[in-house]
Every structure is written in structure tokens, then in C-alpha cells.
Structure 1
Amino acid sequence: MVSAQQPTITPGDNLVVEGLPPIPVSLVDTVERYTQFRSASIASWHPTKRQMLISTRFGDTRQVHLVEFPLAARKQLTFFSERVSGATFQPSKGNYFVFSKDIGGNEFNQNFRYDFATGDIKLLTDGKSKNSRGVWSNSGDRMIYSSTRRTGKDRDLYIIQPQKPESDKLLAEVDGGGWFGLNWSPDDSQFLMLEYVSINESYLWLFDTRTGDKSLITAKKEGKEKVAYNGGIFAKDGKGLYVITDRDSEFSRLAYLNLTTFEHTYLTSDIPWDVEDFDLSEDGKNLAFVTNEDGTGVLHILDTTTRKEKPLPKLPVGQIYGVRWHRNNQDLGFTLVSARSTADVYSLNIINNKVERWTESETGGLNTENFPEAELVRWKSFDDKIISGFLYRPPAKFKGKRPVIINIHGGPEGQFRPTFLGRLNYYLNELGVAVLFPNVRGSAGYGKTFLKLDNDYKREDSVKDIGALLDWIGTQPNLDKNRILVTGGSYGGYMSLAVATKYSNKIRAAIDIVGISNFVTFLENTESYRRDLRRVEYGDERDPKMREFLLNISPVNNADKITVPLFVIHGKNDPRVPLKEAEQIVATVRKNDVPVWYLMAKDEGHGFSKKKNVDFQFYSTVMFVKRFLLK
């Protein structure tokens, strides 16, 4: 308990706090250094100078900064109370850039132009609909972006000259919310689009950039195995595409797709892992790509003429994101993060194989070399399937069996991969709590068969994977089966609630962050542009049999079985999992005579992004862990 004399912190006016005890200032002081981690990610290379735009946070939210050379001071260019999500230089002169921003986490992004000469910012979109940032033409005069402007549901294509906002016009109407722009043909006459149906099914289309007429490149075969494509870039001669696809394979491979014969030539069949990101150099001679090898990101560069890989210098073991070629055809930029290094921006020069670091983000003054590395663990589930996850153990100074936080990823097609844990390092280093991140069935990264194991009526099989994990923890000499807390965000929030309904006798507490509590109300109320996409994964609630099943497995309808303390965290403006999902589980579980803590931010969406809100969530969670897991 906090004594009357002990000073406490006051939640911001934007926060709704119910059931939480006052948070003492002394706790804030104790955890402070763990809230001061910063990170940076690459956004865009300047087309003629060796400079780049990056995304990083100096104040409360991530903004666009300019870095003029490796480890130069970061020059902040945008100053908004809301986070700015990415930016791209005008690709020939670089005299302005286009960036995106929403309001309060509602994900209805608007596009803006920032002019370097004046610092002026101009709105380019309608101010209301959901818009993608768009893809630049090769000539650098136009962008094509998708927008829900027409119906609120369909992501139609619009074309605009950013220097002439009045030029904005509808290029083509499409049906559905799964359309994503990829690349212009070398002569700018065609535009490549991805039509996403599910993580297992997607298609590539070409649109005429003058008429908007479209043609399907990858045929839909009725009754055949569904095929997924992930990204596409035109070859320099315009005669083919480089794509990522799981066609004829358990994993996603890099392939060359001939646009005359539609034949696929696979370029990475010797790598038994997913290719997840790639970029083609301006001259078309080199393909940089990243593979996900048992959770680790591995960088490769392929010579497009010989189709052989180039030898590369050894990089730190971690994750590699956002590979981007400079127009000089020599420098490859990317973001790298590892267990002991927060995300920072690097470049690799392929002429001399020199790696340069462009940003060095702060880590609160802590020596991150002492932070634990992830350990790959495996256990057998109810049906003898082997499930894996990553375990971070506390330092050796903590003796005896350690309490465990199980942290379940969202998606559901996500995958936890070893990374910098940020604030979570406090639980390891200061409280001696082990943190375990499972990749239950349905997770990406382990092949498309594994990916489908939780679909439709198999939804609860993934919950049983956590049940098996609880049993596995009981067999580990250094882990305490009597002190386990389950948490997760989004789909991981659903999983936390589901575990609490089925295994309350095996856990101490649960934390649900922006989670689904009722699949039917979720599907009926999630934003219309994503509703059909989610029905493919979870099932269609309009079908009576599926509706009955979804209602039966929904945590809110089994909430009487939750007999452990529960903490529910949500953003009011969440377009994916509406706030109602949090409100109804809180109201229902409160009838169980167990502690229920509730934290809601009026200026956030699907997860908290503003530092002051993230900090308060962290303080509250530390209090919850200390009270219900450690005592």
C-alpha cells in the first residue's frame, strides 16, 4: 500500500484509470532508466546526396529527422503531438518529402508534403479517409496511393502530383480493403498492386497509370492450393518482376516472374526459410534481401546477372528491417536491432563491404552488454506437435526458481523474434522474472502448413499450446510453475484472456492489451476496410454455425472461469479491436470478485505510442506484476 505521506503521480487527463492503486513517485524513480531507451529506423535515402531521413523520438512521439552523414546529429524536421509514420524523399531532386500522420492512433493516415526551402507543410489527402503514403513514379513527378475515400471500405487507387495537390484524382476503383501499391514499371506506364486476401492468399495486378485498367498477373485457381505473394519490383528492362512467394513451396522464396510467359524462376530454393524483405538497386544489378532463419534476420545480396550471392561482412545477430538502396547503387541502408542493441540505422557499401552506423540511440545510461540473450526453447503440445519460443532468463544473481511472464504475440500470424526488449529488461534485471515469448501454431516463420493450424474451428488449439507450455514450465528446474503471469497484445490479448478462462488454476494473473474478448462483436465492429480480411482468418460470423462456435470460444462468454487478477489496457480510438472489447470483459470479470484493473487512453489506438502514456502503462504494469505475480 502507498502511505498517505508518500507522493504519487497523477495520471494525465487523457487517461481513464479504474481499480489501480496510486503509483508512488518512488516507483517511477526506480524504473526511470528503463523508460529512456530510444530507437531509430531508416525512412528514405536522399536521391543525390549521401543523407537520409530517419524516424526517431526526441519528445513524446516519433518524428522525421534528417541525418547528413554517419553518426551526425539528428535534425528534427516534423514537430507534431501525433507520431509521424514514415517519410519518402522526392526521388529525383530531394527538395521535398511526403510523410503520413494520423490522429490519436485512429490509423486514418493523411499524407503531407514538407518543403525544405520553406519548411512549409501541405496536406495532400482529404483529411478524413484512410490513405497509404503512396509509391513514387520513376520520374519523380507523381505518386499513386490507396484510399478508402469513396466507400470507407474499398482501398481505391488515386494519383497525385505532390507539388500540385489539386491534381489529385481517382485512378481506379477496386473491391475490398486488401489493396497495396508496390512499384511503377520503368517507363511509368504500369503500376503493380498486391491484392491481399489472407496471409495464405494474395494476387498481383498491373494497372495502366493513364486509364486505370487492370489485369491479373497471378491467376486464381479454383480448388488449388492458395498462393501468397509478398511484394514485387520490376526488373530494370520491365520484362519481369522480382517477387516473394510461397508458390510450390512451404516457405516464401524470392522469384523472377516473366511477364510474357508468367513462368516463375526461383532464386533462393537453397534457403529453407522465408524471404521477408527485399529491394532492387537503381541499376537493376543487385538484389538485397533478408531471410528469417529461425527468428534471426540474415542479409543477402544477389547479383541479378549471375544469380549468385555476394560475400558480405558479418553483422550482429538480430533483426534487419527496411533494406533501401541509395541511387548511387553502392550504399544499402537498413535498420538493425538485437537483444543488446536498440534499433539503429546502418549502411553497407557493396564496393568495399564497409558497414557504417548512422545512428547510436540512447539506452538510459544502462550497460546493455549485460542484458540477457534469447534462448530458443521447445515443448510438445497436446497433439505431439513441437512448439517453440524464446526464453529470456534473469541474471545469475537471482537464485532459486524464477517467476515467469508469458508474453504472446499478436497477428495471429505474427512471430516473436529475438529483439531488444526495452522496458521489459526491468523485469529481468531488477525483479528476477523470466520472460518467455511463445510462437504457438498459426505463427509465421515456420512454413505455411504451420500457419494454418489455428484457422477457423481450430482456433483453440493455439490456446492448448499455452496449456502445454504451462506444463513444460513445471518440468524446468529454474522456473516457478506457481508464479506465472500471461500477457499479450491484440490477438495476444485474446490469448491471455482465453488462457485465463481455461487455466486460471495454473497462472497467477493475466494482462490483456487491446485484445479481442468476443469474436462476433469484434468482427461486426472492426473497421469496414479490414472486416472481410479478418473473416478469412477467424471465420465468418454471419454463418450461423461459425457464429455459434465463435461465441462459444469468446472469453467474455467464459469470463466466469477467470478467477485470477486481470489488467485490461486499451486505446479509445482503436480501429482494429474496438474499445467495446475491453469494456465488456472488464464489466463481466468484475462480477467474479477478483481484482480488475482498467487503463484506457483517449488519445491512443491499437496500442499506446505517446511516451507519457507508454510510461504510465509501464508503471501500472510493474505495480500489477509486483502485487500479483511476485507476492
Structure 2
Amino acid sequence: MNRIMLILSVLVVIITTFSHALTGTIEDILKEADTWIISDTARIMTYLDSCNTATDQILKSSPNWESTYRDLSFLLGIDYAGSPQIDNTGRIYFTMRLTGQIEHLFYVDSPGQWPHQLTPNSWAEEGYNIYYYLVHPSGDYVLVGVMKHGSEKYNIWMITRDGAFKPLLINPNVEYSDVTFKSKDQFFVMVATDSSRELCRYTISTGKLEPLYREKDWVSLYDYENGQILCARWYSFSESQVFIIDEKTGKPRNLTSKGYFEGLKFTGDGRILSVSGALSGPGEFNTLVFIDSKKTGGIKPFYNPKIEIDAFDIIKSARACCVLLNQDGYSKAIALGYDGNQLVLPQTEIGIISQIESNEYGELVLEYNSPIQPGAVYFSRLGTSMLKTVTWTATFGFDFSKIEVQVVRYPSKDGTLIPSLLYLPKGVAKNGNNPALVIYHGGPPDQSRPNFQRNIAFALSKGFILLFPNVRGSTGYGAAWERADNLEGRFKSLEDDIAALDYLVQSGYSRPERIGIWGGSYGGYTVNYLATTVPDKFGCAVSEVGVADADYLHTHGDLTFQKGWEQEFAPVGSKLSHDLSPIFKAQNIDKPILVTAGFNDPRVFAGDPRRFAYVLARLKKNVLYHEDMTSGHWGTTKQEVIDGYARAYVFFIDHLLTK
């Protein structure tokens, strides 16, 4: 009773403090909100402080908070190792988090050697995180892309082989990405703000940054060879065009028409290797193709595995490439010579190989994990079956071996079978009374895969069934599947999301009152949409950094890919965009919902979920809102990640386990 009174009193304080009226249309509420919700700094800070305080008071007063927080702190505090690279001297680099708040960059000169840390411990205290790094092939130095408080404005630091480090490109309002080496002293880089992208060349010895090329479309930089800069312009997530920029003249030359081209690399013999749909038929998977770098339209087939290609890496000296394949989320690695013959490559246990990198001498490093094994880094050589452990992740005695995952396919409204990952607790009965969580991935072009996830062990220990759908629009199942949610097709994709809830009920696993829906980013959008359209099919919802108003999102924050989003989602100002935006159906919500945002989020501008939560409060809905003031699109420190999971799980436990 005391906790109920606390919740009611806190919600009354929030609503009366920040709402001039408790009624009105959604349009009226938005009109009032837009007079201050991203422009009046003092009012914003007061509002966020009140919301965050109220949400924490409510959740931390739960009898489930202490044990949940303790268990998640243990599980999520376990160290991490991954993102390996190797230079031509054989030095192996990787990121790892031991006991600190963030990942750091380490190296070893041979597998099994004690790791040496390169990045400073002070970065955690200053709010910095490593987003990417790139080792110069010589091993003389590493370039590290660092962002502050999740801003995704990546600044570049250089760390030399002896451990000295210095800033190269530092600007809190600029993103430096797509780094590509020209020589030891020069590299190319894309320089981006919230409204523009420009290809530049940077000289380390002089500190000079020279603009080279700029156009209205989104351009990505991939590779460099003999005065030719390899790029692609992206029109949407599934449509691109390959072109080369002459370094001397700055003039572009198209090599392909519009299509799908990704992972572009020079082969060293005048060709370019790419994952592409240019030679695939309707409904077929993308293939590996060779593109002639001397003329337009010179595309020839290389390898067609007839399943998804995740990535590849080229070993020019061996005239070969290593390819990562993906079937229902599980990986297989193969090596191919340019002649198409398969080469010897070591094989891991069944799991996920998330990265494979090589040096010019055929030495390889890869990152591997599975549902029951934490991430590890391995070393090998092309042409051998040898696989040596470089570093691994400790479990501190926790037994993850009992985690089992099934690949299931449930029918959507139109009969289409939707591939999904299903995790079941031990001894689960089909009695219709099990608590369940349906977790929707972001993207939308992304895939839920059977990765090692510590929080899954916690959920299963509480008796939760977990379902991860890969609905239309997901990657992993071919180009046609990925494009199937574009524009009006998004309604069918959302029907796939709804059908996941029906599957749990019709299979006898659960009932609506015991089902929670959860998602982040585009997954948060999915949660928002379902919360406003099918509130009778679930018991509560958690929407993390989720889109609520498509037009608002696409006209605020980072606008550089706005045209691409319009090709995928809907043109700004269109009826389709309005119909797909959950905020205009907010009056339909009748189940508890936790909404979160990241103050520095450049992808889902914080004003969007902030407005959504405000509208829900004005409509007297059961909503909690939390906006993390030192994060962006995700938690950037271990503590932020633990706090975020604890809020979500306590919310679900409180609303679902007692039903």
C-alpha cells in the first residue's frame, strides 16, 4: 500500500508541475510541448530531473530491486574481449573490459601473452569511449576513434607503438569516421556534422586536413589504391552505387548503376570485391562479385553461397579472401582463392564469428562467441587448421551451459513464416501461464542472433520465456526479406511483430497479461507502435530510445541520412509517415510503459521519446520516463548498462510475475 501511494503521489507531482491542463487533443498537447521541450533549457532540466527522480523512486522501492540489481551487477560485470586486429609484425590488438567502466585497447605480441593496455584509464572518468580503432599495417601506430558521453562525434587519437598518444582530430561537434590509410603519414577520413559529410585527407606530420570531395548524397569511404579512392553513395539502407574518386583531380567516376554494394575492397589486381545483389535474381541472396575498377558496369560473379554473407576480408599477397557466412544467425567461415578454390581455414564450434581480420602475411584473428560461451579472440594462419586462443572472457564460476536456444518459425497474418530465436527456461510447461518477453531488435536492417548475452541467463532464472523475432526488414535472410518492410511494406512487418505475441499464446506458452514487449532504437519504435495499436495483446512495455514521431525524428538531430530514411520509412510530411507514427495513437495505450532516452543520442534525437512520454503523461497514461544525461544511443559505461537493465527487468518483474 505504501508503494502504491508513492507511485500515485510522484505521478501527480510530475503531471501537475509540467502540464497546464490534463486534457486536450494530442495535437494540442504537442503544440504546447513544442514551445519548450527542446528549447527551454531550464525547464527541460527541471522536467528531466523530476522524471528521472520519480522513475528511480518507483522502481527502487520495488521489493525486487535489490536482488535484481545485485544479480545483474554480477552478470554484467564480467569482463569482455573482442574486436581484434593484427598488424604485419604479428602484434594482435583487441578491446577488453576488465574491472573498469569502459573497454580499453590492449595488445599482445603472441597468443597467450599477458595483455598490455594502450588507452589511458582517465578516459572513463572524462566520459570517453572507444567506438573504433584502426591499426596501421606497419604496426607503427593505431588510430582510435573516441566519442564522449555517447555523442557519436568520433574524434581521433594516435597511439604509437611505444605507447605514446596524442590527439589528431578533435572537435566536439564533428564526427571523423571511415578512416582509410594512404601511407604512414596520410589517411583519408569522412568529416561529418549533423547536416553534411565531406571526404578529406589528413597529414600526420603537418596536422593539415584537406577537403577533397563533397556531394548531396550520403557517401561512405571504403578503400584506397594507387591514387584511387573507393567510395559508395547510399540512397537507402538497401540501395547504393560504387564510384571512385581520383585523388589528384577530385573527380568521381561511377563504376556501377544503383543496386546493393557493400564491403568494398581493392583486390590488388585492378578489381574490387563486394557483397552485392547486382547478379542475384528476385528472392535470391546477395553474392560476392568482382567489379572492374577501370570501367563502368564490369561486374562478374565470384562466389554464391546461397545464404547470407556477413563480411569478408582480403589477403592480397595470397590472392585470397576469408568470408563469414550466416545461416539463422550462426556463423561459418571459409577461405577462397581468387580462382574460386576453397582454402584451408580453421573451424570453431557452432556459434557466431562477429569479426575476422588479417595481415599481409595470411595471419588471422577472429572474434567468436556462442549462446553458452562468452566472447574470445583466436589466432590462426590461412592454409592451416590451427586455432590458438589469444584472450578469453572469464565467467567467474557462473554456469551458462544450461542456456538453450531454438530457431522457430511462426506464421504472420498473411501466412509468411517468421524466423525467430526462442529461449525456454528448464522444465517450462505449456500451461499458458509462463511470463514471457518478446524482444524486438533495432535497425530496422539488423538481426537478432544467438550471441552470448549475460542478461538472458538472468531472465531464464526468473522463469521468463524469451522470443527474438527477425521480422520482414531484418538482415540475415536475403535482400528481398530486408527490403520487404520499406514504405507500405512496414505494415506487414509490424503484423509480423504482432504475430509473435499470438505465437506465444497459441503455442500454450503464455497469455497476454504475462507477456512484456521490449525493444531499443527501431525496436523501441516497434514497441511504441504495438503499445498504441494492440494493447490487448501484452501486459506491459519497455521502449528504449524508440521513435514515436517519424517526421519529428527525421527533421531533428542528425539530418545527413534523411533522404535514405524517407526511402525506407516514408516521405516527411506524408500520410504514410503520420499513420506509422505511434505518437498520434497515444490515446490507445492502456498498459504500463517505461520509456527511455539518451540525452546525447544522435540517432533517435532525445526530443522524440521525451515528447512521447510527455504526451502520455498528459493523457494520464501509466508511464514512467527516464532520460540518461550522460549517454547517447546506448549505455556508454558498465554502470549505465547495469542500471538500464535493472530498470527494465524490475519493471517487467513487477508487472508480469504477479499476474
- Normalised by the length of structure 2, the TM-score is 0.86
Q: CA deviation at 1:131?
A: 1.4
Judging changes above 3 Å, is the alpha-carbon distance between structure 1 residues 292 and 22 closer, same or farther for their aligned structure 2 residues? closer
SS in 2 for 1:583: helix
- Contact 1:64/1:86 (8 A) holds in 2: no
CA distance in 1 between partners of 2:408 and 2:228 (Å): 47
CA distance in 1 between partners of 2:229 and 2:481 (Å): 33
CA distance in 2 between partners of 1:417 and 1:393 (Å): 16
CA distance in 1 between partners of 2:556 and 2:169 (Å): 29
Write the letter of the residue equivalent to 1:205: F
1:89 counterpart = 2:135: yes
Report what 1:39 is aligned to. Answer: 80
Write the letter of the residue equivalent to 2:596: I
Write the letter of the residue equivalent to 2:181: W
Q: CA deviation at 1:195?
A: 1.2
Report what 2:501 is aligned to. Answer: 470
CA distance in 1 between partners of 2:285 and 2:50 (Å): 44
2:610 to 550, 565, 583: 583
Report what 2:52 is aligned to. Answer: 16
- Contact 2:313/2:356 (8 A) holds in 1: yes
Q: CA deviation at 1:26?
A: 4.2
1:140 counterpart = 2:184: yes
Pairing 1:501-516 to 2, within 5 Å after superposition: 501-516=532-547
1:595 counterpart = 2:622: yes
2:313 to 265, 270, 279: 279
CA distance in 2 between partners of 1:219 and 1:241 (Å): 15
1:617 counterpart = 2:653: no
CA distance in 2 between partners of 1:574 and 1:294 (Å): 31
- Of the structure 1 ranges 288-297 and 466-475, higher mean CA displacement relative to structure 2 is found in 466-475
- Which has a greater percent of helix? 2
Judging changes above 3 Å, is the alpha-carbon distance between structure 1 residues 604 and 267 closer, same or farther for their aligned structure 2 residues? same
Q: CA deviation at 1:413?
A: 1.3
CA distance in 2 between partners of 1:115 and 1:560 (Å): 57
Report what 1:265 is aligned to. Answer: 300
Q: CA deviation at 1:112?
A: 1.3
1:160 counterpart = 2:178: no
CA distance in 2 between partners of 1:410 and 1:34 (Å): 23
Report what 2:109 is aligned to. Answer: 68
Report what 1:113 is aligned to. Answer: 158
Q: CA deviation at 1:510?
A: 0.5
SS in 2 for 1:122: strand
- Contact 1:442/1:455 (8 A) holds in 2: yes
Identity over aligned pairs, percent: 23
Q: CA deviation at 1:13?
A: 9.4
CA distance in 2 between partners of 1:158 and 1:607 (Å): 29
Length, aligned pairs only: 599
1:241 to 249, 272, 275: 272
Q: CA deviation at 1:399?
A: 8.7
Q: CA deviation at 1:365?
A: 2.9
Q: CA deviation at 1:2?
A: 8.9
SS in 2 for 1:283: helix
CA distance in 2 between partners of 1:113 and 1:313 (Å): 33
SS in 2 for 1:298: strand
Report what 2:250 is aligned to. Answer: 212
1:296 counterpart = 2:337: no
CA distance in 1 between partners of 2:499 and 2:163 (Å): 60
Report what 2:91 is aligned to. Answer: 51
Judging changes above 3 Å, is the alpha-carbon distance between structure 1 residues 207 and 321 closer, same or farther for their aligned structure 2 residues? same
1:203 to 231, 241, 265: 241
CA distance in 2 between partners of 1:563 and 1:22 (Å): 20
SS in 2 for 1:415: coil
SS in 2 for 1:29: helix
- Contact 1:387/1:465 (8 A) holds in 2: yes
- Normalised by the length of structure 1, the TM-score is 0.90
RMSD value, Cα? 2.3
CA distance in 2 between partners of 1:554 and 1:199 (Å): 20
1:563 to 590, 606, 616: 590
Q: Which segments of 5 or more consecutive residues in structure 1 lack a partner in the other structure?
A: 4-11, 221-226
Pairing 1:253-402 to 2, within 5 Å after superposition: 253-260=287-294, 262-269=297-304, 271-304=305-338, 306-329=339-362, 331-372=363-404, 374-396=405-427, 401-402=433-434
CA distance in 1 between partners of 2:2 and 2:185 (Å): 61
- Contact 2:237/2:564 (8 A) holds in 1: no
Q: Could you list the per-position Cα deviations for residues 547-597 of structure 1 after superposition, in whole angstroms to 9, with x for gaps in the alignment?
A: x33223311111111111101111001111111111122122224544322
Q: Could you list the per-position Cα deviations for residues 36-56 of structure 1 after superposition, in whole angstroms to 9, with x for gaps in the alignment?
A: 2332223421221x2212112
- Contact 2:111/2:390 (8 A) holds in 1: yes
SS in 2 for 1:106: coil
- Contact 1:255/1:266 (8 A) holds in 2: yes
1:495 to 508, 526, 531: 526
Report what 2:33 is aligned to. Answer: none
1:180 to 202, 220, 224: 220
CA distance in 2 between partners of 1:398 and 1:624 (Å): 24
Q: Could you list the per-position Cα deviations for residues 193-247 of structure 1 after superposition, in whole angstroms to 9, with x for gaps in the alignment?
A: 1211112210111111223221111134xxxxxx10002111222x211111011
- Contact 1:17/1:600 (8 A) holds in 2: no
Write the letter of the residue equivalent to 2:446: G
Write the letter of the residue equivalent to 2:276: T
CA distance in 1 between partners of 2:240 and 2:647 (Å): 41
Judging changes above 3 Å, is the alpha-carbon distance between structure 1 residues 446 and 521 closer, same or farther for their aligned structure 2 residues? same
Q: Could you list the per-position Cα deviations for residues 264-305 of structure 1 after superposition, in whole angstroms to 9, with x for gaps in the alignment?
A: 221222x2112221111140422101112222121110012x
Pairing 1:447-458 to 2, within 5 Å after superposition: 447-458=478-489
Q: CA deviation at 1:381?
A: 1.2
SS in 2 for 1:370: coil
Q: CA deviation at 1:526?
A: 3.4
- Contact 2:168/2:204 (8 A) holds in 1: no
- Contact 2:111/2:388 (8 A) holds in 1: yes
2:263 to 223, 231, 235: 231
Report what 1:123 is aligned to. Answer: 168
